Structures are given as structure tokens and as C-alpha cells.
Amino acid sequence: MQALHIKAKELLESGRVRVIIGYGEGSSGRVRPVFIRNVSEAEKLVWDNRCKQNLAVYLLKPEIKKIGMPAIVATPAAVMSIVQLISENQLKNGDLVALAIEDDSVTEISDDVSLETYVQSHPVIFPPSVKEEIRTIAEKSLQDRLKYWQDELSRCIKCYACRVACPLCYCERCITDVNQPQWVCVASHLQGNFEWHMNRAMHLAGRCIECGSCTLACPVGIPIGLITIEASRVVEKEFGQKPGLRCNAPSAMSTFKVEDVETFIK
């Protein structure tokens, strides 16, 4: 952690960045997102195994952008989000300094090449429990799978914490907020909840970098990330493209190759 403090102070003092987006001590033993703008506050930054939330979401928040050039304490998932956001023209080369931390040494990554090199050597590793959950659901019959998701999604209250926690949900006017036509029911009955999550899965297919922040954010304990992870895995399997690896990758779901097949559509 000390290396992080030193780096933070150096970045701020030199004026190279105006704000460091990182993790700080929160309440009840949690960590929370912090925005360090003064050298005197740099020691508030923490780095340990509680730091899981994807902070890349703040790179697109207008109030943060207004502060100026950011550095961001980036988990491997956050770096992947940044690469994906670059490939979608939401960020560009030089917009930020990512700080990757390993064994108390901090590496600055800011250009496309070093970001790509980093994600390729630091894949997002899933805890065995998540792999197990996915396997369990995938093994269910379609009927049982539907029952499982009906049970889970009946709890959804449409708070949209999953949406705001996701760096790739950056639409200024989300499809749920479009009312001409009203594509997705506003109400949080089961149908409205299915409409929202199915839409979200389709919009994140091929883009979800599997950080799990949505599941962390959900206040009612729905393992909502499993849906978008699965959607991305289908895209990877069928179209051979994994998100978050190349800064100039074409968008998987809005480009096609002639040899694409769609055997999974039944």
C-alpha cells in the first residue's frame, strides 16, 4: 500500500493528474470509492482483497470528468473495462492513468498498447463458487432454469444498482427510460423485471467483462451478473470474440463476418 501512496502523491504533486479514483476505508469494514485530489489525502487510499468493485464506472461520470485528468486504482477487471470502453470510443488513449497494483508495486498504464498487454497477461479469474453457480444453472433443464430465474427476479425492485455499477452501462438515456415507445415496462412486476434483465443481457452480450460488480451492487442478492456473463460467453463461443482485450476491436454484436453462423438461435 505504501507504494500506492507514494505514487499517488507523485502524480498529484507533478500535476499529471487532478484526481485519483481509488478505494478508501468505508463503514462497517467495507471499502468505498474515494476521489483523492490533495496530496494530504493520498494516504486514505487502501489496497487489499476487499477492493473488488469496478471503479471504471467513475471515468464516465460527468462530475468526475469535470475535475480533470484522472488516475484510477484498477483491478484487472477495471483495466479490461477501460480497454472495452476505448474500443467503444467512450475513452481514448491518454484520457487516464491506470494504476495496476501487484505485491505492493504500482505500475502505471496509460496508453493502448500497455493496457492491452496488461489485460492479456492478467485475465479476470473467477472464484470457484461463481464457476460452480454457472455450471449448476447450465445443467438445469430449460423449465427449471426458468423457475430459478423467476424466483430470483421476482425479488428485483428495479433499483438499477446493477446498471449504475456497470462501467459498460453508460447510455445517457437507458432503454428503460425511453418512453416513445416504452420498450421496457417501468414497473417491477415479474414481467417488467424479465424485460429489463433480458434487455440488459442483450445489450451487454459480447461487452460484459465479468467483473461481477452488478452482483455486488444488487441489494436483494440476485446473482445478476451470471446472466450477462453467460451472454458474453455465448458470444465468445459463437463468434470467437472476447471483450476487453483490444482497444480497436470491432463491436461483436454490430459487426459481422460472412462466415458467422447462428446455430444457437432456435
Partner 1 sequence: MNPNNIYKPYLMRIEKVTDEAPGVKTFRLNFMNDVEKEYFAFRAGQFGEYSVFGEGESTFCIASSPTRKDYIECTFRQAGRVTSALARQEAGDVMGFRGPYGNVFPLEDWKGKNLLFIAGGIALPPMRCVIWNALDQRDWFKDVTVLYGARTVADLVYKNELDEWGGRTDMRLVTTVDPGGETPDWKGKIGFVPTVLEQMAPSYENTIAIVCGPPVMIKFTFPVLEKLGFNADRMYTTLENRMKCGIGKCGRCNVGPAYVCKDGPVFTYEQLRTFPEEY
Partner 2 sequence: MNDQSKIITHDNLLKFLDALRTSGKDLYAPQRKAQKTFFLPVDNVQSIVFDYVQTTESPKALLFPKVERLISYEYVDGQVQVMDHAESRKVNECILFGSRPCDAVALKTLADFFSRDVPDVFMQQRHDALTIISISCTKKDENCFCTSVGTSPGDTTGSDILLTPVEESRYYAEVLTEKGRALVDALPEYFEISGPVEKEKYVAKLENVFSSEEITRRLSKAFDDPMWNDASLRCLGCGTCAYVCPVCSCFDIQDEGNNKRGDRLRCWDSCGFALFTLHTSGHNPRPTQSERWRQRLMHKFSYMPEKYDLLGCVGCGRCSRACPVDMNMKEQLEEIVAEIKAI
Q: Which residues of this chain interact with partner 2, rule CB under 8 A?
A: 26-28, 30-35, 53, 57-58, 61-64, 152, 155, 157-161, 163-165, 173, 177, 182, 185-189, 192, 216-217, 219-223
Residue placing its CB nearer to partner 1 in the complex, 179 or 254: 179
DSSP for residue 246: -
Return the C-alpha cell found at 136. 449448476
Q: Is 207 left (phi over 0), alpha (psi -120 to 50) or beta?
A: alpha
Residue whose CB is less far from partner 2, 63 or 259: 63
**CA 201 → CA 2, 41, 102, 167, 227, distances in Å?**
40, 39, 32, 14, 6
Q: Which does 14 bind (CB under 5 to 8 A by kind): partner 1, partner 2, none?
A: none
Of residues 136 and 182, the one with the C-beta less far from partner 1: 182
In the bound state with partner 1, the residue whose beta carbon lies nearer, of 127 and 181, is 181
Burial-class residue 44 by CB neighbours within 10 Å (0-12, 13-18, 19+): middle
Per-residue string for binding with partner 1, 161-180, x by CB under 8 A?
A: ------------------xx
Q: Return the number of the residue (93 or 182) whose C-beta is nearest partner 1.
A: 182
Please choose, from the candidates 97, 29, 87, the residue with its C-alpha nearest in 3D space to the C-alpha of residue 207: 87
Q: Does residue 191 interact with partner 1 by CB under 8 A?
A: no
Phi and psi at 146, nearest 5°, equal: -60, -45
Q: Is the dihedral of CA 124, 122, 246, 108 positive or negative?
A: positive
* DSSP-derived 3-state class of residue 182: strand
Q: Is 254 in the site for partner 1 (CB under 8 A)?
A: no
Residue 125 interacting entry, from partner 2, partner 1, none, C-beta within 5 to 8 Å by type = none
Question: Smallest gap, in angstroms, from Cβ of residue 153 to partner 2?
Answer: 12
Under 8 Å between Cβ of 98 and 71: yes
Site size with partner 1, rule: CB under 8 A: 4
CB 204 within 8 A of CB 165: no
Picked from partner 1, partner 2, none, the partner binding residue 57 (CB below 5 to 8 A depending on kind) is partner 2
- Paired residues of 105 in beta bridges: 102
Q: Among partner 2, partner 1, none, what does residue 180 contact (CB within 5–8 Å per kind)? A: partner 1
Nearest to 36, CA basis, from 82, 2, 67: 67
Residues from 88 through 127 that contact partner 1 (CB under 8 A):
none
Q: Which does 32 bind (CB under 5 to 8 A by kind): partner 2, partner 1, none?
A: partner 2
- Shortest Å, Cβ 107 to partner 2: 25
Using alpha carbons only, what angle is made at residue 215 by residues 176 and 212, rounded to the nearest 5 degrees? Answer: 105
Residue 182 is a binding residue for partner 1 (CB under 8 A): yes
What's the min distance (Å) between Cβ of 178 and partner 2? 10
Cell representation of residue 146: 426458468
Question: CA 87 to CA 255: how far, in whole Å?
Answer: 13
- Indicate the residue among 126 and 160 with the shorter CB distance to partner 1: 160
Positions that interact with partner 1 (CB under 8 A): 179-182
